[in-house]
Amino acid sequence: MSVAPKVYLVGAGPGDPNLLTRRAEHLLYKADVVLYDRLVNPFILQLTRPDAQLINVGKIPYHPTTKQEEINQQLIASAEKHGCVVRLKGGDPAIFGRLQEEVEALEQENIDYEVVPGVTSASAAVATLSIGLTSRRLSNSVTYCTGQAIIDTPERFVSMMQQGTLAIYMGIKRIGQIMSTIQQETDIDYPVNVIFQASYEREQVIKGHVSTIASQVEDSDVDGPGLILIGPVLDLEKMFNTKVSTPELLQGNRTANIARAFEIYEEGRTAFLDIDPHCDYHPSQLALIQHIKETLL
């Protein structure tokens, strides 16, 4: 008797594979096909079976990329062909992950699904800073928002920073406009932290104020995805952390190398898997390994 297909909408966390949930890791190994976002750590994709198909459906900000409707159709088509489909999203799928659109598409086709939460980048960022998003004396709330939301309706958010913390996603490219908008709404020069590549070994942190942070980020020449935190729980002292090492490409037995890779990540470094000659790989898996060799090593 054939098994009914099921789609798992899984959070991949902020990047460090040690922050994956046990459920996420189990489903990755079980998956027949994985549709993944652009910012997912390639090593996490290597936790799948070598014969699993990998499909990149990631969006690039301010660039023409896969439309959400196309992703929905790819999910449905994959479920019609395979028993276990994983839709792998960076961070937590319920936080700016377009979760509802994909759930509705699956429900319309009567396709069974499950949502698996992940660690969102704001949680990873404050772990780096050794502070809380909330504090009994300084912050009694936390608000997740996008940079565009602040630009469109700043009055909704500025009041929340007086006794709360604001976590701004997808705002790095417009950080100057965001800070100018906030300055127009308040006289308080709130402390700001910008965390790039949270939880990765190349993670970097810049600390400043609403009035200074945009120029600090511009002068730093730091690139990549980042999170903006604003609120009283953040201090002024500028810190610029750089943890850079050469990623390791592990050769030989795949199972042993997965265990070794987790140890390397535990040490704050990065590792990926090379081809195991004893495994049969889906072409998309071989393409992923080639991409790693060409761009990440």
pLDDT per position as a tens digit, 102-122: 999 999 999 999 999 999 999
Which of 194, 217, 236 is where one domain is finished? Answer: 236
Nearest to 204 by CA among 188, 221, 191, 190: 221
DSSP state of 8: E
Residues 114 and 211 in one domain: no
pLDDT at 8 over 90: yes
Check if 37 is active-site. yes
Residues 254 and 204 in one domain: no
Per-residue pLDDT, 240: 47
Which of 236, 256, 274 is where one domain is finished? Answer: 236
d(CA 143, CA 169): 11
Residues 114 and 125 in one domain: no
**Residues in Cβ contact with 61 at an 8 Å cutoff, skipping those fewer than 6 apart:** 170, 173
Q: Is residue 56 part of a domain?
A: yes
Q: Is residue 88 part of a domain?
A: yes
Q: Is residue 1 part of a domain?
A: no
Which of 236, 252, 269 is where one domain is finished? Answer: 236
Q: Is residue 86 part of a domain?
A: yes
- The pLDDT-based confidence of 4 (bands split at 50, 70, 90) is confident
d(CA 288, CA 54): 8
Residues 110 and 170 in one domain: no
Averaged over 124-129, what is the pLDDT? 91
Residues 105 and 14 in one domain: yes
Q: Is residue 25 part of a domain?
A: yes
Percent of the chain scored above 70 by pLDDT?
A: 94
List 30, 59, 189, 276, catalytic entry = 59
Residues 54 and 29 in one domain: yes
Per-residue pLDDT, 1: 38
Residues 11 and 97 in one domain: yes
User: pTM value?
Assistant: 0.91
Q: Is residue 114 part of a domain?
A: yes
d(CA 263, CA 216): 34
Per-residue pLDDT, 61: 60
State which residues form the domain around 285. Answer: 6-119+244-296
The rounded mean pLDDT for the chain is 91
List 16, 37, 89, 207, catalytic entry = 37
Q: Is residue 43 part of a domain?
A: yes
Residues 163 and 75 in one domain: no
**Residues in Cβ contact with 167 at an 8 Å cutoff, skipping those fewer than 6 apart:** 122, 125, 133, 142, 143, 144, 145, 227, 228, 229
DSSP state of 201: T
Check if 59 is active-site. yes
Residues 25 and 67 in one domain: yes
CATH number of 248's domain: 3.40.1010.10
Residues 19 and 112 in one domain: yes
Q: How many domains does the chain have?
A: 2
Q: Is residue 107 part of a domain?
A: yes
Q: Dump pLDDT digits (tens) for 34-71.
A: 999 999 999 999 999 999 999 999 876 655 667 899 99
Per-residue pLDDT, 98: 94
- CA quadruple 24, 293, 281, 92: dihedral, nearest 10: 20
CATH number of 224's domain: 3.30.950.10
CB atoms within 10 A of CB 134: 16
- The pLDDT-based confidence of 274 (bands split at 50, 70, 90) is very high
Averaged over 15-24, what is the pLDDT? 97
Residues 46 and 153 in one domain: no
Residues 211 and 274 in one domain: no
